[in-house]
Amino acid sequence: MRTIKSAVTGLMILALSVLFLSACGQRKTTIPEERLIRVGFSQVGSESDWRMANTASMTAALSEANGFELIFDNAKQRQENQLLAIRNFIQQDVDFIVLAPIAESGWDDVLQEAAAAGIPVIIVDRQIDVEDKNLYTSWVGSDFLQEGRTAVHWLEECLREQGREDEPLRILHIQGTDGATAQIMRSRALDEAVEVHPSWEIVAKLPGEYTEAKSYELVRDFLQRGEQIDVVYSENDNMSFGAIRALEEAGIPYGGEGGVMILSFDAVRDALRFCLEGKINLCVECNPLHGPRVASLIRQLDAGEQPAKETYVDETFFSSNTITEEMIEARDY
C-alpha cells in the first residue's frame, strides 16, 4: 500500500509541476516582446563633410534606442559595392533597405531582387533611373536643379549690381561624381544659364568627384597652363576647398571684391566660415540631415501606411554679404 500511495503522490506532484510550468509558459507568451526594425543602409562613402554629416544623421535616427537595428555599409564610392551590399541585406532578410545611390542608373536588377524578397526600398539623397518606379517605395532628398538655379540667379544679380552683366565671364566648372543626380542637375542649371548669356563661357569642366584632393590637383594643373577665370562654380564645398588652395598657391585673388568668385554647394560649417571671411562668395545649402525623415518613412511603411513617393527638403543659401556668426553657430552640421 505504501508503495502505491507513494506512486500516486509522485504522479500528483508531477502533474502539478506540469501545470505550473504550463501556466508559466502561457503567462510569458502574453508579454509583448520589443521588436527592432532591421534596416540595411548602403551609403555612398565618406568622401566629403556633407556625406559624413548625412551618415551621422542616418545612424543617429536609425539607432536601437529609436527602435531600429541598423546594418550599415560604406560603399567607398563604388557602385559594385552597393550592389553587393543590397544583395547581402536581402540574404540577411532585413525589413527595409535604404540606398544612397552613387549613380542614377544600374539598379533595376538588384531592386527587382529586393522586390521579389518583399523588402521595401527607400532612396535617399540622389535619385535613381529605373524602368519600374514601383521598385522603390519613396525618395527623400534635395532639389538639385533648383540649387543650381539659385546659384545662377545669385550670380546674375551680383553681376547686374556691379554693372558687369554684359562683360565676358569665364567660368571654371568643377563637377561632382559623373552620373550622380546632384552633378547632373547642378550642371544642367549652369549649362542653361550659359545658353541665355552670350558673354558667359565655361572654359573647362573638371571632374572633381566631390573630393578636395582631386579638385586641388585638377585646378592646380589647370591654372599652371596660364588660364584666366572669373568664376569657380564648384558642385560641393570640399571641391571648393581644393580650388581655393590651388588659387592661393598660384597667387590669384579670390572671393571678396575683384577676385575670382567662388560659388559653392552644400553649406557645411567650414564653408560657411569661409563665406563669413569672404573667401567663398556664395554657399547654396544642401541639407544632409535626412535621418529623421527616413525613420519617419519607415515607421509609416511598417504601420501599413503609404507615404509620399517623393519628399523634397527645404533649403536656402548664404552669401558673404549677408552671413553672420549667429547663422553659423545655429547650424547642425
- First-to-final CA distance of the chain: 85
Contact yes or no for 279/251 (Cβ under 8 A): no
Over residues 278-306, mean pLDDT:
96
**CB-based contacts of 69: which residues, under 8 Å, 6+ apart?**
36, 37, 38, 39
Q: Is the pLDDT of residue 307 over 80?
A: yes
Decide which of 322 and 14 is more confident. Answer: 322
- The 3-state DSSP class for residue 104 equals coil
State how far the Cα of 235 lies from the Cα of 228, in Å rounded to an integer: 20
Name the residue type at position 81: N
Q: Is the pLDDT of residue 85 over 90?
A: yes
Cell of 154: 545669385
pLDDT score for 29: 29
Please give the sequence-ordered ranges of beta strands (E in DSSP) within the chain, or none if there are none.
37-43, 68-74, 96-99, 121-124, 138-141, 169-175, 200-207, 231-234, 261-266, 282-285, 310-312, 317-319
pLDDT score for 13: 38
pLDDT score for 11: 38
Q: Which of 242, 234, 332, 241 is nearest to 287 (CA)?
A: 332
- The 3-state DSSP class for residue 179 equals coil
Q: Is the pLDDT of residue 289 over 80?
A: yes
Decide which of 89 and 314 is more confident. Answer: 89
- pLDDT band at residue 247, thresholds of 50, 70 and 90? very high
Q: Is the pLDDT of residue 76 over 90?
A: yes
pLDDT score for 257: 80
State how far the Cα of 55 lies from the Cα of 62, in Å rounded to an integer: 10
Contact yes or no for 214/208 (Cβ under 8 A): yes
Q: Which of 72, 67, 69 is nearest to 56 (CA)?
A: 72
Over residues 147-159, mean pLDDT:
98
Where is 198: in which H helix or E strand? Answer: none
Contact yes or no for 94/39 (Cβ under 8 A): yes
Over residues 276-284, mean pLDDT:
97
Strand partners, 156: none
CATH fold of the domain at 144-286+319-329: Rossmann fold (3.40.50)
Q: Is the pLDDT of residue 118 over 50?
A: yes
Domain boundaries, the chain: 37-142+288-302, 144-286+319-329
pLDDT score for 256: 81
State how far the Cα of 195 lies from the Cα of 200, in Å rounded to an integer: 8
Q: Is the pLDDT of residue 12 over 60?
A: no
Over residues 247-272, mean pLDDT:
95
- pLDDT band at residue 258, thresholds of 50, 70 and 90? confident
Percentage of the chain modeled with pLDDT above 90 = 87
Over residues 25-50, mean pLDDT:
73
Domain 37-142+288-302 has CATH 3.40.50.2300: yes
Q: How far is CA 303 from the centre of its chain?
A: 25
Q: Which of 262, 286, 274, 290 is nearest to 323 (CA)?
A: 274
Report pLDDT digits (tens) over 181-216: 999 999 999 999 999 999 999 999 999 999 999 999
Report the 10 Å Cβ neighbour count for 103: 19
What are φ and ψ of residue 160, in 5° steps? -65, -45
pLDDT score for 15: 40
Q: How far is CA 286 from CA 136, 156, 311, 326, in A?
A: 23, 21, 14, 19
